[in-house]
Amino acid sequence: MNNKNDFELALNSHFPLLVVETHEEGRVVELLITLARAAATPLQQWTITDGLKPLFEDNNFTTWGTKLELLPKEQDNTGSSTGSSTEQHSPIASLRTIKQQKRPCLYAMLDFHDHLDDPIAVRLIKEIALEHHLNQQRLIFISHELTLPNELQRFSMKLELSLPGREQLKQLLHEEAKLWALKKGNNIKADSKAMEILLDNLTGLTLTDAKRLLRNAIYDDGAITHDDIPEVQKAKYDLLSQEGLISFEYDTARFTEVGGMRHLKQWLDKRKVLFSNNSSNLLDTPKGILLVGVQGSGKSLAAKAVAGAWGVPLLRLDFAVLYNKYFGETEKNIRKAIQLAEAMSPCVLWIDEIEKGIATGDHDNGTSRRVLGTLLTWMAEKRGRVFIVATANDIQALPPELIRKGRLDEIFFVDLPTPKVREDIFRIHLQKRHHDPQQFDLTALAAAAHHFSGAEIEQAVVGACYSAHADNKPLNNQHLQQELAQTRPLAVVMAEKIEALRHWASERTVAAD
C-alpha cells in the first residue's frame, strides 16, 4: 500500500470527515504536513491540552485568509475577559472556532474519541460537514480506536495507515546500524541469515514498534544473531496480543510425541520447505488442513506438532473470546484476529473445535453467519503464510462452505489408534514419565487398550502411576492392566456416534494414519 497516494486521494474526495485508527499518530501527522505543503493547504492540529495550533500555513495563498485565530474570550460585565485556556481548548470551543473560520483548511483532531458522546460536539461536527461544499474544511480524526456516531458516518471515510514493507524495514535496520556505529565507534556484528529471519519477524509491526525491537536487539550486545530471534518473536507477540483475541502457544510439540498419523506427517513434510521459505512462484503456499476425528485422538497435539516441526509460532484462535454481546463487536474482533495472524506470519493458526464457533443459526441475529463469511473469505483469498489447522469433533455442525476445497488443502480423519500405534502411544507416555518402555509388555497393553483413544491411554498411564505410588511399588504391567480394565472408553460408551463418524469420514476424508 502507498500511504501518500491513499491519503492524497482521500483529501481530494468529497468526504469532509476522515477517520484514521492507528497507534502511530506521529506518522499520520507528518504525512498530513507533507500533503498540506504539496497542496498549499493550511493544516491545523487540535489536542485537548493545546487546543488548535497551526502546523502549516501557506502565507502566499492569501485567498484563504489570515492565520487561524481563536475566538475572543467572553467579556463579563466589568469588561474583563473570562474563560480559562482549558475552556478555550475544549472540543466545543475549538469546533466553534473551526466553524467560524469559513475557509479551506485541514484539521487533525487527535484523540477525539472521548468527546463523541457529547451531542453539542456531534452537532457542530455535522454542521461543519454540511458546509464542506462552501468552506472546504475537512476534519481528520486520528485515534487508536474511534467510531463516529451514526449521524456522522455518511459524511466520513475510513483510512488505514499501512504497515512498513520489507524494504522499509531493511532500510530501518541499516539506519539503526549506522546510528549504533556513530555512537559506539564500531560496526555491529550481523549474521546474514539471522538478519533475514529478524526482518521476517518484524513484518506486521508498526514502524515505531519495529524500531524499538531493533534497538533492543542491537544495543543488547552490538550484534544481530540467532539468539535475538526468540526475544523479538516474544516481544512481537506481546505487542500484537494485548487485546487477547489470539493466544500464543509457547508449548509446541514434535511429531515424535505423536503416535501414528503417518499419512499426515508425510503430507506435511512435503510442504514444509515451501511454507518456510516461500521461495517458489510456481506453487501455491499451503493454506491449511481440517482434522476431524474421535475426541481424544490427538488432533490438538497434531496441531501443536505442525508448528513445532515447521519451526514457526503457534497461535490459537478462541471463539469464546471473540464473541461479544454488543452488535458488530464480534465481527470486528474476528477481523482484528485475522489481522494479528497475518502480522505474525509465517505461523500456524490453530482453531480448536471450529464447529462451536461458526455453527450457524437464528439464535444470535446472524452473528455466526457473518463471522463464518468473514473467516471463509479470508481462508479463500489469504496470501500470507498463515497455515490453518482446524479441528472438529461434530461433523454435523460443519457448514458445507468450510469443507469444500479451496478454503483448506485437505481434510484428514483421525481414527482410533491401531494396535501398533497404541504401542507407540504407551511408549511415548511411559518415556515422558521417566519409565523404561522395555520393562513393560507393550503388545499386551495395546491389546488390553482396544477401542482406547490416545488421550484415554495417557490417562491410564497417569492413573497407573498414582496406583503404583500408593502401593509404594515401581510401576508395572499389572498397574496398567488394572487401570485399563476400570476404564470405559468413549468408543464403547458412544459406539453409535463413533461408528456414524467413521462412516461419514470413509468417503469424504483422507486417513491421517
pLDDT one-digit tens code per residue, 32-87: 999 999 999 999 999 999 999 999 886 544 333 333 344 444 443 434 344 445 56
CATH topology identical between 249-414 and 419-492: no
pLDDT over 70 percentage in the chain: 87
Triad 410, 414, 415: Cα angle to 5°: 140
Q: What number is the average pLDDT over the span 155-167?
A: 86
> What's the rounded mean pLDDT across residues 206-232?
84
Bond preceding residue 72 cis, omega within 30 of 0:
no
Q: At residue 22, does pLDDT exceed 70? A: yes
> 74: exposed, middle or buried (C-beta count within 10 Å: 0-12, 13-18, 19+)?
exposed
Amino acid 460: pLDDT? 93
Averaged pLDDT for residues 396-425: 85
Poorest-confidence range of 269-278, 354-363, 411-420, 504-513? Answer: 354-363
CB 95 within 8 A of CB 124: yes
- Region 224-248 average pLDDT: 76
Superfamily the domain 3-159 falls into: P-loop containing nucleotide triphosphate hydrolases (3.40.50.300)
Instruction: Please check the confidence at residue 296 and state whether its pLDDT lies above 90.
Output: no
Q: pLDDT tens digits for 110-152?
A: 999 999 999 999 999 999 999 999 989 999 999 988 999 999 9
User: CA–CA distance from 251 to each of 121, 201, 247, 254, 301 (Å)?
Assistant: 50, 19, 12, 10, 10
Residue 80 is predicted with a pLDDT of: 39
Please answer whether residues 382 and 287 qualify as being in contact, where contact means their C-beta atoms are separated by less than 8 angstroms. yes
pLDDT at 244: 67
Query: Which has the minimum average pLDDT: 232-241, 340-349, 379-388, 496-505?
Result: 232-241
> Pairing state of beta strands 51-56 and 137-143?
unpaired
Over residues 185-211, the mean pLDDT reads 82
Average pLDDT (219-223) is: 81
The Cα-based distances of 171 to 80, 165, 177 in angstroms read: 57, 10, 10
Helices (H), 147-260: 150-153, 166-184, 192-202, 207-221, 228-240
Residue carrying C-alpha cell 483413544: 453
Contacts for 326 with CB less than 8 Å, ≥ 6 apart? none
334, amino acid identity: I
Instruction: Report the pLDDT value the prediction gives residue 279, as an integer from 0 to 100.
Output: 54
**What mean pLDDT is predicted for residues 245-254?**
71
Please state, as a whole number, how many other Cβ atoms lie within 10 Å of the Cβ of residue 96.
Answer: 17
Q: Is the pLDDT of residue 106 over 60?
A: yes
Q: Percentage helix, strand, coil, to 5, in the chain? A: 50, 15, 35
> Percent of the chain having pLDDT more than 90?
32
Where does the pLDDT of residue 457 fall: very low under 50, low under 70, confident under 90, or very high at 90 and above? very high
Question: Out of 108-117, 194-203, 264-273, 357-366, which region has the weakest mean confidence (pLDDT)?
Answer: 357-366
Helix axis angle, 192-202 relative to 166-184, nearest 10°? 120
Average pLDDT over residues 327-343: 78
The CATH number fitting domain 419-492, selected from 3.40.50.300, 1.20.58.220, 1.10.357.10, 1.10.8.60:
1.10.8.60
Which CATH superfamily includes the segment(s) 249-414?
P-loop containing nucleotide triphosphate hydrolases (3.40.50.300)
Task: Indicate the range of 38-42, 87-91, 344-348 predicted with least confidence.
Answer: 87-91
Q: Do the Cβ atoms of 426 and 445 come closer than 8 Å?
A: yes
User: For residue 346, is the peptide bond before it cis, meaning its omega torsion is within 30 degrees of 0?
Assistant: yes
At residue 195, does pLDDT exceed 60?
Answer: yes
pLDDT for 466 equals 94
d(CA 224, CA 195): 7
Domain regions of the chain by residue span = 3-159, 166-240, 249-414, 419-492
Q: Which grid cell is 184?
A: 559506539
pLDDT on residue 77: 40
Determine the length of the chain. Answer: 513
pLDDT at position 37 is 92
> Largest Cα–Cα distance in the chain?
103
166-240 is classed CATH 3.10.50: no
pLDDT of residue 81: 41
Q: How far is CA 86 from CA 50, 53, 78, 113, in A?
A: 8, 14, 22, 18
Task: Determine the pLDDT at residue 125.
Answer: 96
126 near 152, Cβ under 8 Å?
Answer: yes
Give the span between the Cα atoms of 414 and 491, in whole angstroms: 13
**Strand 410-414 versus strand 510-511 pairing type:** parallel
Asked whether the predicted pLDDT for residue 223 surpasses 90, the reply is no
Average pLDDT over residues 240-266: 74
418 pLDDT higher than 80 = yes
DSSP characters over 32-82: HHHHHHHHT--EEEEETTTEEEEEE--TT-GGG-S---PPPPPB-TTS-B-
